[in-house]
Amino acid sequence: MVNRDFIHHRQEYGKHTLVVEDMMDHPVIQFKKWYKQAEASGVKEPNTMTLASVDSHGQPTIRVVLLKEITDEGLVFYTNFNSRKGKELAQHPKAGVNFYWQLIEQQVRFDGSITKISAEKADKYFSTRPRGSQLGAWVSAQSELIPSRQYLEQELERFTTQFEGQDIPRPPHWGGYLLTPTRVEFWQGGKDRLHDRILYTAKKRAWARCRLAP
């Protein structure tokens, strides 16, 4: 039996169109442009992205993380290396991310390789985090089983006492990753579901662009 509530959940698109010739030669530069437009348009947390990795059995897994830096090489995000995603990225250092900005009817998809950023760069970023977030990185053995919420609160109290009156160092199990893209797709919602999809594919010294069917 079809759930009619889902049938009627339909968003009409068509605010903008994409022209291949008008887009930047490099997808990261084009992404920076779109990102600034998303911020200016009032998109809340435009750095929210869905990250997909794959486990040892070939099962894709996804979760939402936050983009923290856009470099000429790609996208930087931070997490616990011992988490489920950290272990999966260690086994299979490739990933996909997706940004969806409903307010402006745009998506951007990145596929690429994953490498850890330097410890020095991770230290620098960690030092800018709120103290509560720094403590949280020590408290949470991310993705591991824990006995209760109270356990987390006790661990927070323990680390709060341990680091009282001093700077909190970055935990050795916590740091950043760089996703270096090999394929990037820009999606603009279109009328009657005839969306615009422009694909960038990495070549030896440049990027090729083409249009995909919606």
Q: 19-56: per-residue pLDDT in tens? A: 888 899 999 999 999 999 999 999 999 999 999 999 99
Angle between helices 149-162 and 131-139 (to 10 degrees): 120
If asked whether residues 95 and 148 sit together in one domain, one would say no
- Whether 3 is covered by a domain: the verdict is no
pTM score of the predicted model: 0.91
Separation between Cα atoms, residue 102 and residue 129, nearest integer Å: 28
If asked whether residues 121 and 193 sit together in one domain, one would say yes
Residue 184 and residue 31 in contact, taking contact as beta carbons nearer than 8 Å: yes
Residue 145 and residue 178 in contact, taking contact as beta carbons nearer than 8 Å: no
Host domain of residue 203: 13-127+172-212
If asked whether residues 123 and 134 sit together in one domain, one would say no
Q: What is the CATH number of the domain that holds 47?
A: 2.30.110.10
If asked whether residues 57 and 67 sit together in one domain, one would say yes
Neighbours of 78 (CB within 10 A): 20
Residue 108 and residue 184 in contact, taking contact as beta carbons nearer than 8 Å: yes
pLDDT of residue 2: 56
Give 195's DSSP letter.
Answer: -
Q: Of 182, 11, 5, give the one whose Cα is nearest residue 93.
A: 182
If asked whether residues 93 and 112 sit together in one domain, one would say yes
Residue 159 and residue 138 in contact, taking contact as beta carbons nearer than 8 Å: yes
If asked whether residues 27 and 103 sit together in one domain, one would say yes
% the chain with pLDDT above 90: 84
Say whether 197 is catalytic: no
Q: Kindly provide the b/e burial profile for residues 201-213, where b requires at least 16 CB atoms within 10 angstroms of the residue's own CB.
A: ebeeeebebeeee
Separation between Cα atoms, residue 114 and residue 53, nearest integer Å: 10
Which residue is catalytic, options 4, 193, 197, 209?
Answer: 193
Residue 188 and residue 16 in contact, taking contact as beta carbons nearer than 8 Å: yes
Question: What's the number of domains the chain is made of?
Answer: 2
Neighbours of 11 (CB within 10 A): 7
If asked whether residues 66 and 135 sit together in one domain, one would say no
If asked whether residues 115 and 50 sit together in one domain, one would say yes
If asked whether residues 156 and 196 sit together in one domain, one would say no
- Whether 28 is covered by a domain: the verdict is yes
pLDDT of residue 91: 97
If asked whether residues 92 and 160 sit together in one domain, one would say no
79-111 per-position pLDDT tens digit: 999 999 999 999 999 999 999 999 999 999 999
If asked whether residues 84 and 67 sit together in one domain, one would say yes
If asked whether residues 183 and 99 sit together in one domain, one would say yes
